A and B are shown apart, each in its own frame.
Chain A
């Protein structure tokens, strides 16, 4: 039993290092969603009145819609190539818990696309007129929200990984499921920008992240297995 557990730990470490190394050798793929996020948040002031008071009102919406769309864009990286070159089949056949291995891949995906987005978001928030005091709240909301979005999105990515054209279908599958995260994330961000207490929406976001981390891996494993048949 303990040998098996040690085997799983070693496999997860190796898998995570492999995914990180692959992503770092081709940084363009992981940087594109970040660039997309910055472009989207730049477009809002261009489409609106560039007055800081107006921008401050729409800043939560711009940040969260941008984060949602950019996480959607990044989802295509999660399973597609590994499904095409047979890596996922080997992982499914290797005898270790498939759920754990896919969760490790999802964690790496969040480290590569979710975490950089959280770190770059203050830049966009300042540009949209958010005060400096709002940053801890904005960061906390996005940190919890991107975790939930990566996990929910992984289910959609697993379901669509073997389809030829999946861009709009993936959006149709994932966006309704992500609506609660959007609602409470934007609410928490709005409260943070207004410098008001934001514990309530943050707790709800945390609950959603924990729930997604508990249930989503099983759905991801089932979806990927069906995609491999």
Chain B
């Protein structure tokens, strides 16, 4: 009995309706949280004693970097669910994750380079976290490339799911091997539990931005997944009913 919700979640029309209902509940909080976080981060927070106003790019850089990893984990988990329980909806979610994750990774790289220019004196430094972010971008591109080159959608789903799972085993190995290889990036400041090394006036906007970016990701994912489900089910009868209603 407990599994009924799970199987219902796997039914495309149910998922479509649920996603449509949930999207505004993530989109509006995302806009509000990001607006509050930007005001707090760009206007209210004090300038850093070492980096001046240049540090403020962290309010875009850190959430984008955090999401680039989280989206990969979401993608691999839903791909695994799709592979194990043969749920097309889970595969549709995994497929919708990839372009979003690649965009956040590219955003993290771009902001990291802009930040590196004034702080390290160069746009690109072979710094471990920049490099592992770049390798993560390549993993996303490989995933999308594999999906594009397999014609049959069911086979593309399963093949790319295997790749995503192999990738998720590899992401920590890549991350740590790159860290041991070369280190210049400042140590993490947010994820240290106990005593954060940031004052609250800087930390609170950052946490708001993190929450806002995450809500933005969920809203984007639900929208993309809805489109993906519609594309896969375009010959089904419920699609006509669902689109006729609105």
What is A's interface to B at a CB cutoff of 8 Å?
155, 159-160, 163, 165-166, 169, 172-173, 175-177, 179-180, 183-184, 187, 204, 208, 211, 215, 219, 222-223, 226-227, 229
Contacts and interface: CB of A to CB of B under 8 A. Distances in A.
| Interface-central residue, A175, A179, A204, A229, by most chain B CB under 10 Å | A179
Contact of B141 (A160, A172, A184, A223): A172
Nearest to B176: A180
| Interface-central residue, A165, A180, A208, A222, by most chain B CB under 10 Å | A180
Contacts, number: 70
Contact of A180 (B83, B142, B149, B177): B177
B69 to A, nearest CB: 15
Interface string B182-195: 00000000000000
Contact of A179 (B135, B155, B163): B135
B174 interface: yes
Contacts of B169: 215
Interface residues of B, number: 26
B45 interface: no
B34 to A, nearest CB: 31
B31 to A, nearest CB: 34
A183 B126 CA distance: 13
B123 to A, nearest CB: 21
B159 A179 contact: no
Nearest 6 interchain pairs by C-beta:
A180-B177, A176-B138, A173-B142, A172-B142, A226-B158, A176-B135
